[in-house]
Amino acid sequence: MTNRERFIRTLKCEPIGGQVPTFELVFFLTMEAFGKVHPSHRFYEQWNQMSYRERSLHMNEMAQLYIDTAKRYGHSAIFIHPNPGDVENIQWLLELIREKSGDEYYIMMHGDPTWAIPDGENMMEFSARMFDEPEKLNEESRIRVDKSLELAAKLDEKGHLLDGFALCSDYCFNVNPFFSPDSFDELIGPFLKEVIAEYRKLGYYTIKHTDGNIMPILKQIADCRPDAIHSLDPQGGVSIPEVRKIVGPDIALVGNVNCGLLQTGTDEECRADVLRALREGMAAGRGYIFSTSNCVYTGLPLERYEMMMDLWRQYGSYDAYEKKLKQ
């Protein structure tokens, strides 16, 4: 099977044997690893003044950088950060990745129209609107969903270059959700459920991402039927066994390696946490994708991520795990 096929079968919670699939929502350490700026950190104010050749050089380098990252670290999936982000340039980037790598990798991008935790500048205003004018927020959500589905349909016009969407609106702090269960039902749930269902009709898979303590609203997220849930944040008190009890056997789980420990913990703490995540994730024998509990962000030491991936190569095999259980 290709990496893409293994990833899709894992999203379907089908047994695959062999190595557990892995990927990251973002691998920002491209400068440290490859000596190249990450695509989302590049500036394109001059894009409209570039010649076609200059644009083509940028696009080809970005496509190759995504592929090189996946190859070096054994990722089964590529999460693109289109820059520029209009439809034509997204399609161009997708075409280049497919031309260079074929169908080897599952490719996804952000596509979440639901509300997220507002930034500090807007938090008070948004919080007031949640109570004073929820109907208007839902009217805006309706527009956001329609725009997301319109983009998804347009991206498919040149062939099915994109496999799915990661729904990256964060709902939770480490201590509790920003959206209470009631406000989730009113402002988030109906739109999240709809966009997942409509993406599925268009042939796309969905991975719902949110950091923090998702436990008070986890059942509500699962009821929206994403193919997978990411990032199972241990810094928010989220454990794979407890999540699996709540969501059942048919939603894939992604993540749970404590990225905070990777940055500040000792080597021994990091090693123990990586092995714990692999052990708990593989316990069901299917439906697990290995990753950090957020992303590989700027400031996280590259050598710690590479240590994490060395452990994945050594211990992240279903076949070895099952053999060990029989001993």
Question: Between the CA atoms of 69, 97, 100 and 71, what dihedral angle is there, to the nearest 10 degrees?
Answer: 20
pLDDT one-digit tens code per residue, 278-318 = 999 999 999 999 999 999 999 999 999 999 999 999 999 99
Q: What is the pLDDT of residue 320?
A: 81
CATH of the domain at 250: 3.20.20.210
User: In this structure, is residue 97 part of a structural domain?
Assistant: no
Domain presence at residue 51: no
Distance CA 201, CA 313 (A): 35
Do the domain assignments include residue 319? yes
CA angle 240, 243, 247 (to 5 degrees): 135
Token pair in block for residue 10: 């894992």
How large is the average pLDDT for residues 260-275?
97
Which residues 6+ apart lie within 8 Å of 217 measured at CB? 171, 172, 177, 179, 181, 184
**In-domain check, residue 149:** yes
N- to C-terminal Cα distance for the chain? 28
Arithmetic mean of pLDDT, 161-188: 98
Determine, yes or no, domain membership for 289: yes
Residue 73 lies in a domain: no
The tokens for 1 are 């099977």
Residue 72 in any domain: the answer is no
This prediction has a pTM of: 0.97
Query: Quick check: is 60 in a domain?
Result: no
Percent of the chain clearing pLDDT 70 (strictly above)? 98
Q: How many domains does the chain have?
A: 1
CB atoms closer than 10 angstroms to residue 43 = 8
Which residues constitute the domain of residue 219? 3-20+107-326
Q: How many other CB atoms are found less than 10 A from the CB of residue 245?
A: 10
Q: Exposure pattern of 115-125 as b/e (b: 16+ CB <10 Å)?
A: bebeeeeeeee
